[in-house]
Amino acid sequence: MASIFLVWLLFITVYDFRQRRAPNWLVLAGALSALAALALGAAPFGQDWPSALLGAGIGFGCLLLFYALGLMGAGDVKFAGALGLWVGPWALLPIWIGGSVLGALHALLWVLLQRWPVFPRLSLMLFGSPPSAGSNPSITRVRFIPYAAYLALAAAVWMVWGRQRG
């Protein structure tokens, strides 16, 4: 089941980097896979039902505040809930810290490339095309940090690091 988890993280990462969103069908596939692993007694990180459900609730609930403030997309919040099903509540903090550090580095790089556009191709790859002049920024909000992707990368690192430690 660990390989299913890693493949799911890979799909989330690629999709979020390319589209800047975590689609419902992909989040749901990960959540259903985690529930299947729990039902079969094959949860890769030894989670039991209460721990997995608590992880899902904490993952979803904590990031819901950021969504309510307009700082995060709904897909990121739902992904965090599904991620909590897989890893439980205790792994969420190091994963959030790792994902947030990666997101902060992304934002810092964005600021630097806005002020010093030396590598326009890098800027285009990381942040997508700039909004067109006719678009209304109050209607279409540009989300340039793929937070679900960074959470997925941090979860993969946590998984590998945790296995080597144990």
Query: Is the pLDDT score of 90 beyond 80?
Result: yes
pLDDT for the residue 144:
76
Query: Is the pLDDT score of 108 beyond 50?
Result: yes
This prediction's pTM: 0.84
Establish if 132 belongs to a structural domain.
no
Domain count across the chain = 1
Establish if 138 belongs to a structural domain.
no
Establish if 122 belongs to a structural domain.
no
Domain that holds residue 88: 2-102+145-165
**Non-local CB neighbours of 49 within 8 Å, separated by 6+ positions:** 38
Give residue 117's region: left, alpha or beta (phi > 0; psi -120 to 50).
beta
pLDDT for the residue 107:
87
Supply the DSSP symbol for 131.
Answer: P
* pLDDT tens readout for residues 18-46: 999 999 999 999 999 999 999 999 998 98
Establish if 133 belongs to a structural domain.
no
pLDDT for the residue 145:
87
Establish if 128 belongs to a structural domain.
no
* pLDDT tens readout for residues 125-166: 666 655 444 444 444 455 678 999 999 999 999 998 865 554
d(CA 162, CA 126): 29
Establish if 79 belongs to a structural domain.
yes
